[in-house]
Amino acid sequence: MPGVKSKRAFPDFEKPIVEINEKINAVIRKDPSSPELEELNRKRNSIIDDIFSRLTSYQKVQLARHPMRPHTMDYIEGIFDDFVELHGDRKFGDDKAIIGGLASFKGETVMVIGHQKGRTAQENIERNFGMPHPEGYRKGLRLMKLAEKFGFPVITFIDTPGAYPGVKAEERGQSEAIATNLKEMINLRTQMIVIIIGEGGSGGALGIGIGDKILMLENAVYFVCTPEACSAILWRDSSKAEQAADTMRVTAADLKKFGIVDEIVSEPVGGAHWDYEKTFGVLKKRIGYNLGILKRTGKEKLFEKRYNKFRNMGVYEENGRS
């Protein structure tokens, strides 16, 4: 796990896992073939099972925001080959909170685009905590259009607390940038896969989140506003974030149930941050599988399905019936 060394990075509920891992590592350092190890590993698994069997929604939010969790660049390096990063929106600037570029996936050229969070304070300042300005969305769209022109599939990675709420972002048209992306992504004439890898923060996530297949990591979350903001607005009390997370239904299972997400991608025991390689391996297979399906679907049918997918979202009553 690169970047973060402090134990403080772990949320409280994870502390027993961290402790047993340290014990196991200490034993391995002394004697890699110690007979104690089998028992310790069993214990580790039972601790994790216990914690994960009663994980609350808010704990999932904490996992999704875990600083050691793989971020977009980690996935790009772990799953794709020959990544060439492309910068800038050709209008205003280059937003480091959204990265993108060409890469090779099993020999095929694809366009990858994603929010990029940092791990250290320094990185987070540079990446603006993964909160894009309008030029980030415009860069994303520029790269999508480039992919469309040459028939490359687009794969986006979602991991942001939200689009940045700041003066410059408003001046440069945050709303216009996101709205335009939504409209253009619906019309984009190429295959598109969206993967929610961490935090799916509101319009800032959706701004690069339209696609033919929406995949979501098991411990990722997706919400209309952060549980903290929801708590402050609806309960007028910022300490109700845990309750808000439950009420808002933010987990992958919730989103699958509502038909927003097509597929949940399973994570290694304890979460993606404990085993990057395994996480990449599983996701790579799912990308390959879904890309195969999309490539076998006729283009017209693909676009019709994408439109209908979003057109049918939402639950309402008609003549008193839902």
Partner 1 sequence: MAKKKDIPEGLFERCPKCGFSVYGKELEENLWVCPKCNYYHRLSSDKRLSTIIDENTFREYDRNITAADPLNFIDMMPYKDRIESYRDKTKLTEAIMSGVARIGGIEVCICVLDFTFMGGSMGAVVGEKVCRSIDRAIKLRSPLILISSSGGARMQEGILSLMQMAKTAAAIARLSNESLPYFSIMCDPTSGGVSASFAMIGDINISEPKTLIAFAGPRVIQQTIKQELPPGFQSAEFVLEHGMLDIVIEREDLRSTLIKLLKMFGKTYGKSSKKD
Q: Which residues bind partner 1 (CB under 8 A)?
A: 163, 165-167, 169-176, 178-180, 182-184, 186-187, 202-203, 206-207, 209-210, 222-225, 229-230, 233-236, 247-250, 254-255, 258, 260, 307, 310-311, 313-320, 322
Q: Which residues contact 152 (CB under 8 A, 6 or more apart)?
A: 102, 109, 110, 111, 146, 190
> CB-wise, 20 or 194, nearer to partner 1?
194
> Tokens in use for 283?
């996701």
> Tokens in use for 309?
């997918």
Q: Which residues contact 105 (CB under 8 A, 6 or more apart)?
A: 79, 80, 81, 155, 287, 288, 291
> CB-wise, 62 or 251, nearer to partner 1?
251
267, 217, 276, 264: which is closest to 78 by C-alpha? 276
Least distance (Å) from partner 1 to the CB of residue 52? Answer: 22
Alpha carbon of 208 to those of 62, 114, 154, 290, 298: distances in Å? 23, 8, 10, 18, 23
> CB-wise, 27 or 234, nearer to partner 1?
234
Give the whole-angstrom CA distance, residue 281 versus residue 129.
Answer: 27
> CB-wise, 118 or 209, nearer to partner 1?
209
Least distance (Å) from partner 1 to the CB of residue 195? Answer: 16
Least distance (Å) from partner 1 to the CB of residue 22? Answer: 37
Least distance (Å) from partner 1 to the CB of residue 41? Answer: 37
Q: Roughly what angle, to the nearest 10 degrees, separates helices 15-30 and 36-53?
A: 170
Least distance (Å) from partner 1 to the CB of residue 206? Answer: 6
Q: Which residues contact 27 (CB under 8 A, 6 or more apart)?
A: 34, 36, 37, 40
> CB-wise, 132 or 270, nearer to partner 1?
132
> CB-wise, 211 or 270, nearer to partner 1?
211
221: left (phi over 0), alpha (psi -120 to 50) or beta: beta
Least distance (Å) from partner 1 to the CB of residue 225? Answer: 6
> CB-wise, 79 or 196, nearer to partner 1?
196
269, 294, 254, 267: which is closest to 75 by C-alpha? 267
Least distance (Å) from partner 1 to the CB of residue 249? Answer: 5
